[in-house]
Chains A and B, each alone.
Chain A
Amino acid sequence: MKGDRGQALVFVALLLAIAAAVISGLRLSQDAILARARTSRAGEAAVEAATAIAADAYVAELRRAALAAAAPDVANALAAPAVREDARIAASDLSVRNGGHVVDDVTITCGANGVEVVLMLDRVRYQAGFKADECSRR
């Protein structure tokens, strides 16, 4: 009889320990999932911003060429250090605003598939781009 009396207390203690473990496990896994989702969204926002800068530079080059009645040199225009740096700054800004990290480098290439913008954030590659026939006509 004496041994039976402590059963409820032991059961409550065990129950509380299990509940605490479940809650901390849930919180930890939720935080990990949220952090991953946030970084992914930050990367998307960053590469979109960098691509928008590349698109602006592309349109500016087409306008310049039209005014000068010359063939546009899109590859050269997009390779300009100022464009790359503007794209990196815009990408970094958007990444940080969305809970991600600073973007160290942005690659802008003008190839057969058009203009392609690539950046790395937390060892994940983010890529965006747009069609540009001028790139394949080089």
Chain B
Amino acid sequence: MRRDEGQAIVEFALVLPVLLAAAFAIVLVAELGVARLALQHATAEGARAGALTNDDDVIRATVAAAVAPLSSDHVATAIEPPMSEAPRSADPRGSLLTVRASYSVRLPLGFVGMGDLTVSASSTRRIEWTP
């Protein structure tokens, strides 16, 4: 009887890391999917706001608000071209505006030297705003 109990513990110890790794992998894939969808939604909303206002602050605020459930503090936003450059600095109606956003998903095994995974998305809209 004692020998059998010991065997069960050894087997459990062997299975546990595999079980945990599988669980982490499933959670990670789900998290990546949520991040991809949230970023795509946020960039589309940001680009739409930019097309109507031509204002970088409004674009960043829109992306930050639309990126939930991701933390907006960890989302990097880039706007092309910036507000200070032509054609956006003059009469941009009809020109294109692209909003890019990226988010780093921290891997559960980061402590063993695995880096973060970066998810990104972009959206382009035609600017409708007139000065």
Contacts and interface: CB of A to CB of B under 8 A. Distances in A.
* Residues of A in contact with B, size category: 20 to 34
* Residues of B in contact with A, size category: 20 to 34
Interface stretch (B67-75, B81-89, B109-117, B123-131): B123-131
Contacts of B61: none
A16 B18 contact: yes
Main secondary structure of the interface of B (DSSP, over half): helix
29 contacts: A4-B4, A4-B7, A7-B11, A8-B14, A8-B15, A11-B11, A12-B14, A12-B15, A15-B18, A16-B22, A22-B26, A26-B29, A26-B30, A26-B33, A27-B29, A27-B33, A33-B37, A34-B37, A37-B40, A38-B40, A41-B40, A45-B47, A48-B48, A48-B51, A49-B126, A52-B94, A90-B126, A94-B126, A98-B123
Interface of B: 4, 7, 10-11, 14-15, 18-19, 22-23, 25-26, 29-30, 32-33, 36-37, 40-41, 44, 47-48, 51, 93-94, 96, 98, 123-126, 128
Q: Which 5 A-B pairs have the closest CB atoms?
A: A19-B22, A8-B11, A30-B33, A97-B124, A49-B126
